[in-house]
Structure 1
């Protein structure tokens, strides 16, 4: 914990000022009487010297008049001189002028002011050359002088105290600027650093020691921020690796399940359509088909999460898709939740599988619906955004959005929100906070897979009790949007032609061969790519279609088609797989594709479609 510069509620500046004022007051108290007495005595001595000096300057005038001592002329002058002197020197108690015989020529006394301990006498002899002709005696009362001097000293001490206070304030301000202010800035930055806030680099003026300390804090802040960034990147890497590992596992499981479901659905459909069986048997077979189709839907969601589902992308207008989905979203979410859609034009186009984009909308809406209470609110917002630099997500376990042009789909709800632990697992397959019978935990996993496979990013912002906001960033593209058309299903009809079926799963290979042969096709089979090449070379007749699994031991289905196609350029190619290999996804978009699991009608219609395209 960082120590506080305030001790017992007093800052350094306050303590410094109070200390200086206290010292000044203490000096005044300790030196009050001695200093005052010394200064008073000094001022009294000065005043005494002034009276003595004044009397000395008066002596020559007095000597001239005492020599003659004319009663009509000199005595009145002496009287006036004594009166004027006593008038200009109020501290004079008495003044007496005598001749050499001791006769008093002039004597003046103050009306009330008897002599006391504070008075002193000054006697000067009047001379005519070397002869004494008289004397003047002056009695001065220094009591009032001492009082005035004491008051003057008090005023001087008060002035001195005020100067000390001013000096203390100036020193305090200087000390604050030089020491306290840099310490407070450093303290604030260190507290921000401890709290985990961003600490910008700051330069300030101060003593050399504080400059070095500030440089150290800057270095420490840089090191802490670098460590935090490293921890964030490690967390993102760990989350990415975890999601990638889960995705690989989910993709592998889905691929194997799709092969099994292909066999289950194929034979169950055959049984359900066999007129020789009882109706109850055909009905049971139909239930198997329904269960298999639901299982196939789950595997498709797993493939979407693992990003191994083949996406038939095209340039799509997201505004059109969102507007077309409004009615379905209203019905899906229900009347108790208010749904609003806002489009901030202009919105650019995106390159995505339109069906999968609709699935993203549906899954986000369902997840938000389950999070809000009655009278809740969901708000879809669609807008374009230019990201100029890496935008870190609100949560560190998601990947940052790199610079570029994006179309952003935002869904905001006022539901219960999520804690940190839930947010970290929300995109994992089979993770759900609902009861086991209420959800599979694949909805948001599917959203994550579709968005990632489409080159997009997800941002999540949520707090418990504050609702959640999902933001889907899809790269913006230029071009003309393509209208989405559903592929027409071909009516089953007797067909002819030779088809080479290459499938490493024996059950799937057998089922596919039986369906094709029962519909009139001649079927050649191979377990892997090497056997397929040998079968093609050994067959003398024409091979109209190569129906091959996408992932095979040895060569891939695309590579196998190229090898055989060099000798049979007229041959068509149809790829079938439970998932698409990521590195060949772009190449697979140019080749007709059959998604596993498939049923009888889907297989026959796709084969017929490819064969008819060769005509």
Structure 2
């Protein structure tokens, strides 16, 4: 090995290590040390190889050195005397590695050289022994022993060239005693038989003995066999080494020791005895153990850091749990854990935990634990403390009583908690619990654990951040790949696209390449193209004059398959850095569906307004009709009473008869008002719709101008519907006249078609009434179509409004009446119209599957008897009076009740004496239905006539537990009253 290689090897081996290097490496180190002295004459290099507490002995000169400084001072004199390089020859070295922390090197060699004054010297009989120990992880020489034998051929040579000889025996003895007495290690001197000849005070201190007690002890008879073997090896000419526990034979004391023994050679090379170094390694062991622990701790922290830094995102949780296990086991803790704070900073959740097999996991217990219940932990959030350390939980302060209670419940004896921070924000806790035994953590340990806490924080923050980034990337990728908007760049001066996004294909059917190579006329409708070409010059000018550059507009465009779609364009105008042209960076959005939805919302709002209007009008008309019929009842009743009086007197009056006829006409007007609203359903008949229309055809044609034609197309004979023929005839007449008036005076054609349609074929657009939903399987459709001017779109939903008309005042009830009529038969109307092409009204009547009659209420005839006493229940006083007067005119006994409550009281009081009840429907407190049910509870078989100004069909709608025996519609005359009594008593 070259000198340079030896130096490099020494540098490599000088690094900190846990155990003594190999014998080969140690030999290289020692040869490097010798090279520093013999060739380089470098005292600094020699010092670097010595332990700070190294000692040395030079046997030939009788010198002893207790520290490196004294040794180097002596060698410095030697270097001054022999400054030039010396030559080594006949080298022979042997290495013995004693254990992991100690080794011995001994050897023989010859040396020659020249002193400063030119004197040549040579000595072939030099010996050296070096003891290596680990110091702070480095193998260093802690003791060295050199000797030489004088040679008669040497001229003016130094007997020991490694140092200067002492001038006298006295000085040598003093130096020996100084080294012996002040040595930091115990020294023993024994003869060739192993008898202890001398020892220093350090040895006596280590063994806890006195010289008197140990003097004369034969070391070969000690009870410790390893110690005897070590001493014996030295007396055989070999180095001896021993490390163990020394049990004093003089006092009760056991001491960990290290012994190194070496032989002492006489001038004739015989062994005259030995010398041993006796060192107390108790403190050294503590230091070594502490260093070993620190090293393992740092390795554990390094391992955790390495695993967290290199862990992929999906493995971070597992790596954290492994790190918790590793660190908790290192500290003999039964539990390691991490708690994380929620986004609002209100709860703590145990997200990671490792616990010993003997312990029950606490993670399920601590989920969303309120942070306010842990005031001590809140101090972390306020950055008031760095950690919480309780070696003994039972001694926690009273201010943490709640926290202490939680820990005691979990059987925790010791605890360490450290905060986890990310970006300066408190995000959670990291800690350990000791359950079986108490433990404390040193400040050095806590400092390194803060590093682990920071690494955990960074890992969790990294996981959270990257998870959020991944989610955002997925969202952005999804939007980029699935967005329906088309992004494009358009040269406003060449009218060419330079870029179009792939989403173009989904909306327009074109590929981007197809449209880039085409003209804009391909996808713009004529109107849109005109609009675009009109605004381009103005917007180019605005751009170049730094005026408006952003625009939003709607254009109609054409897809590849010819469909027209509505689009919204957002434009940003810029000057191209390449061409200098005006460019548009735009986004096109298909808003066809949005426009349709807006139209649907508009129609729904119209429907809603119409429904509200119809509902309000219905309530108003119903109320008016009710009160109107009540007043007509009073008028008609009084007229009849007057007629009775005149009949009794044998006279008659045409005026009274005319007044009664007018009253009946007024009642019919009331019915018509309710018909408009679908609240009155005149009695219907099963009719063939085609035959009914055909019967009206001649009369309808007579009312049309000569230039207008009315055509009734043929249809199948089974189109039967259940309608009131008179009302239908009136509606058909109004429809035909309206159609004729919509046609031009010079010519016009009105066509009537009757067909059967399935419910699925009924159009949903422009359907009336708005709330009508076809529910029958099939319908008979009556269509009245004209070729007139049509109806404006804005007027379509006003067509069926009462009193809406384009024909002047006093008109507009015809279609409103038709709508009410269709409501009453559970049908509907659909309207389609086109400007200047005409309109078509389609009336849908439910098909009649069969004719069924309604059976009259079952009445036990045997329970009825002649009607004598009638209870009249009516809240209108004049109506009660007229009804009573008419009944008394027919010899009935009448009892009056102004409301339902009074009627019940009378019925209870006169139970069994009342034969019939006539009850009004609309009354305060209890209406007619409620009164009827209460009456039947008192008298189950009591016949009842229900009277109302509403139509019977309207009144009888809905579910009612009790039914009247007869219905009497106001205004009624004496004949209809008597008929109702007969029906009720039947």
TM-score (norm: length of structure 1): 0.57
The Cα of 1:346 is off from its aligned counterpart by 7.0
Bigger fraction of residues in strand: 2
Q: Secondary structure at the match of 2:524?
A: helix
Runs (5+) with no aligned partner, structure 1: 14-172, 203-212, 484-494
Larger CA deviation: 298-307 vs 276-285: 276-285
Question: Residue deviations 1:250-275, cap 9 Å, x none?
Answer: 22212211111121222224334542
> C-alpha distance in 2, partners of 1:512/1:294?
21
**Residue 981 of structure 2 aligns with which residue?**
607
Q: 1:599 to 1:369 in 2, by over 3 A?
A: farther
**8 Å CA contact 1:254, 1:303 repeated in 2:** yes
Pairs within 5 Å for 1:532-571:
532-571=903-942
> What is the distance in 2 between the residues matched to 1:229 and 1:174?
32
Q: 1:179 aligns with which of 507, 516, 541?
A: 516
* Partners of 2:790 and 2:837 within 8 A in 1: yes
SS at 1:427's partner residue? Answer: coil
8 A contact 2:751–2:785 mirrored in 1: yes
Give the unaligned 5+ runs of structure 2. Answer: 1-489, 498-509, 530-553, 568-584, 855-865
Seen in structure 2, the aligned counterparts of structure 1 residues 273 and 186 have a Cα distance that, compared at 3 Å, is farther
Any residues of structure 2 matched to 1:404-443 within 5 Å, and which?
Answer: 404-414=777-787, 418-419=791-792, 423-432=796-805, 441-443=812-814
Q: CA deviation at 1:424?
A: 3.8
Q: Aligned in 2, Cα 1:415/1:501: closer, same or farther, shift over 3 Å? A: farther
* 1:475 and 2:849 matched: no
Match runs of 1:175-574 below 5 Å? 177-181=514-518, 187-188=524-525, 191=528, 194=555, 216-218=588-590, 220-272=591-643, 274-275=645-646, 282-309=653-680, 317-318=686-687, 320-324=688-692, 326-328=694-696, 330-331=698-699, 334=702, 336=704, 339-342=710-713, 344-345=715-716, 350=721, 357=728, 360-361=731-732, 363-365=734-736, 367-368=738-739, 377-388=749-760, 391-394=763-766, 398=770, 402=774, 404-414=777-787, 418-419=791-792, 423-432=796-805, 441-462=812-833, 466-476=837-847, 478-480=849-851, 496-574=867-945
In the TM superposition, what are the counterparts of 1:7-18 in structure 2 within 5 Å?
A: 12=496
Distance 1:7 1:256 in 2: 73
Output the CA distance in 1 between the equivalents of 2:495 and 2:970: 76
**Residues 252 and 415 from structure 1, CA distance in 2 versus in 1: closer, same or farther, beyond 3 angstroms?**
farther
Determine the structure 2 residue equivalent to 1:598: 972
CA distance in 2, matches of 1:226, 1:468: 25
C-alpha contact 2:948 2:970 (8 A) present in aligned 1: yes
Aligned length: 424
Structure 1 residue 221: deviation in Å? 2.6
Task: Give the CA deviation at 1:518.
Answer: 0.9
Q: CA separation of 1:461/1:224 partners in 2, compared to 1, >3 Å: closer, same or farther?
A: closer
Contact 1:311 1:353 in 2 (8 A): yes
Q: Does the Cα contact within 8 Å between 1:574 and 1:607 map onto a contact in 2?
A: yes
Sort the Cα spacing of 1:325 and 1:538 in 2 relative to 1 into closer, same or farther, 3 A.
Answer: farther
Task: Report if aligned partners of 1:546, 1:571 keep a CA contact under 8 Å in 2.
Answer: yes
Separation in 1, partners of 2:749, 2:804: 24
> What is aligned with 1:149?
none
The worse-fitting range, judged by mean Cα deviation, of 262-271 and 296-305 is 262-271
Seen in structure 2, the aligned counterparts of structure 1 residues 215 and 295 have a Cα distance that, compared at 3 Å, is farther
Change (3 A) 1:481 1:199: farther
For 1:335 and 1:523, how far apart are their aligned partners in 2?
A: 54
- Alpha-carbon spacing, 1:290–1:540, altered in 2? closer, same or farther (3 Å): same
Structure 2 CA distance for partners of 1:519 and 1:240, relative to 1, 3 Å? same
Root-mean-square deviation (CA), in Å? 4.6
Structure 1 residue 504 displacement after superposition: 1.7
> Shift of the alpha carbon at 1:466?
4.8
Change in Cα spacing, 1:191 to 1:476, as seen in structure 2 (3 Å) is: farther
TM-score (norm 2): 0.37
Corresponding residue for residue 405 of structure 2:
none
Contact 2:769 2:828 in 1 (8 A): no
Contact 2:557 2:566 in 1 (8 A): no
C-alpha spacing 1:174/1:452, structure 2 compared with 1 (3 Å): closer
1-structure distance, mates of 2:933, 2:663: 34
Q: 1:31 maps to which residue? A: none
Find the residue that maps to 1:344 and give its secondary structure: coil
Residue 847 of structure 2 aligns to a residue whose secondary structure is: strand
Q: CA deviation digits over 1:439-463, x for unaligned, max 9?
A: 6644332221221233221122346
State the 1:303 CA deviation.
Answer: 0.9
Q: By how many angstroms is 1:181 displaced?
A: 4.5
Alpha-carbon distance in 1 for matches of 2:878, 2:528: 68
Larger radius of gyration: 2
Q: Is the 8 Å Cα contact of residues 350 and 407 (structure 1) preserved in structure 2?
A: yes
Q: Match for 1:585 among 947, 953, 957?
A: 957
Seen in structure 2, the aligned counterparts of structure 1 residues 420 and 175 have a Cα distance that, compared at 3 Å, is closer
Q: Secondary structure at the match of 2:879?
A: helix
2:125 counterpart residue number: none
Retained in 2: the 8 A contact 1:333–1:365? no
Secondary structure of 1:585's counterpart equals: coil
Q: Which has the higher helix share?
A: 1
Q: Kindly state the Cα deviation for residue 285 of structure 1 after the two structures are TM-superposed.
A: 2.4
Contact 1:340 1:379 in 2 (8 A): yes
